Chains A and B, each alone.
Chain A
């Protein structure tokens, strides 16, 4: 069975500081991996995705993520956080003929 773990429920960073959100997955083959962001009262928006090829993928809003097969991880990073990045972030894995599994989410708070 596939699964996703986001170890950090809540992270607080100062504006301008760097950010890394952790995601670990469990899946028997190479999965399709995604990061989504959800602002309060809104649906989820796709930030970036990994299917194959280059293990460092670039997304929208200055985010990037690196796929590390040996660590079963797909961590999300941003060099300099903006106050508008405060939101909830979800990692997701798609395997098993298209079935999606989402992590529990990480809430990001940005301090001025």
Chain B
């Protein structure tokens, strides 16, 4: 595998279910991101992890719970979701969040998980 992978690619879940999205990057990066992309809305940054530490949480509801066990893996745990949470969830990685590498701000995105909450 190369680049950034996400599983599953499609997920349908009921409002009472618990599921998890997985992201894995094979680029040796130290920062990982979760974004939400809804129809007719701009890309929303949800969480940022830099060297496994959460550095950003953009007022995301607690029904979304991120986990970053190491620099290569990022999870998004979902529970008690609402229909308005249906969206494309994108994972991205970059060399690091602080940009000390001078060119490390560019982000590499996975293909996304299309989530439908019924």
Contact = CB atoms under 8 A, between A and B. Distances in A.
Describe A's contact surface by its main secondary structure.
strand
A77 to B, nearest CB: 20
Interface residues of B, number: 26
B113 to A, nearest CB: 10
A97 B104 CA distance: 12
Interface string A35-67: 010000111111001010000000000000000
A18 B106 CA distance: 27
Interface of A: 32, 34, 36, 41-46, 49, 51, 90, 94, 97-100, 102-105
Given A43-B110, A98-B97, 10 more contacts: A42-B111, A43-B4, A43-B111, A43-B112, A49-B105, A90-B43, A97-B98, A99-B45, A103-B42, A104-B42
Interface of B: 4, 6, 31, 33, 42-43, 45, 50, 56, 90, 92, 96-99, 102-103, 105-112, 114
